Homo-oligomer: A and B are copies of this chain.
Amino acid sequence: MVKFSFMPRGKIFFELYEESAVNMVKTAELMKDMVDSWENIEQKVEQIDEYEHIGDNVTHKIIALLHRTFVTPFDQEDMALLAHSLDDIVDLIHAAAVAMLIYKIDTPKEGAKELAGIIVTATKEVAVALKQLRNQPKLKQVLEHCIEINRLENAADTVFRNAMAELFDNCSNTADIIKWREILEHLESATDRCEDVANVLEGVALKHA
């Protein structure tokens, strides 16, 4: 395997990915804090909005650098997919947050809190796996994190389905069902994007192992 650390361009890429990952974990944590405490919603959504812009900027930096670099640490395409998937995770948390605000949600459903918790765990796994990609000896650990991310995505699926079933059972207001379906779907999709990142990382790990 190419020792990434010996390549100066590679170093810049990994630093940008880690910047993106740190921003993603912060966004996830703020979402969890928001649904758990359900206080100062507007202010927190504004902060998530700012994280979304930061995510856009670092993604743009990665893509621009990618297009100017001839030899990249791994597949150009995998690198672009990685950058976009990290950004998508932030975008989906952001979309859920904005929907909660704009749809004037009273209190967050239990399912939303559970999903926010899963997203925090999954994004942290993504961040750690990403960091280990730099070092050849830890590639096996990359794969272990990928398996854990897949497990979390399946768990999120189940939470989503149960939350939807519960909504249909106990919610007399159909408009609320539509609102919550959208919010829960955004949150569940965030874990799908974590799995996309895991798939890229798994591929890179296998290819260079």
Report the minimal beta-carbon distance from A129 to chain B, rounded to whole angstroms. 16
Q: Are B206 and A68 in contact (CB under 8 A)?
A: yes
Question: What's the Cα separation between A175 and B178 when bound, in Å?
Answer: 9
Q: Does A177 contact B (CB under 8 A)?
A: yes
Q: Are B67 and A203 in contact (CB under 8 A)?
A: yes
Question: What's the Cα separation between A104 and B168 when bound, in Å?
Answer: 10
| Interfacial residues of chain A within 143-171, with CB under 8 A of chain B in the complex | 161-162, 164-165, 168
Q: Are B203 and A63 in contact (CB under 8 A)?
A: yes
| Interfacial residues of chain A within 53-93, with CB under 8 A of chain B in the complex | 63-64, 67-68, 77
| Contact residues on A (Cβ < 8 Å of other chain), bracket | 20 to 34
Q: Does A1 contact B (CB under 8 A)?
A: no
Main secondary structure of the interface of A (DSSP, over half): helix
Which residues of B sit under 8 angstroms from A174, Cβ to Cβ?
174-175, 178
Which residues of B sit under 8 angstroms from A168, Cβ to Cβ?
103-104, 175, 178-179
Q: Does A44 contact B (CB under 8 A)?
A: no
User: Whose C-beta in chain B lies nearest to the C-beta of A165?
Assistant: B102
Q: Does A181 contact B (CB under 8 A)?
A: yes
Which residues of B sit under 8 angstroms from A3, Cβ to Cβ?
none
| Interfacial residues of chain A within 172-209, with CB under 8 A of chain B in the complex | 174-175, 177-179, 181, 199, 202-203, 206-207
Of the candidates B102, B103, B161, the one whose C-beta lies within 8 Å of that of A98 is B161
Which residues of B sit under 8 angstroms from A203, Cβ to Cβ?
63, 67
Which residues of B sit under 8 angstroms from A77, Cβ to Cβ?
77
Question: What's the Cα separation between A68 and B162 when bound, in Å?
Answer: 39
Of the candidates B67, B102, B178, the one whose C-beta lies within 8 Å of that of A206 is B67
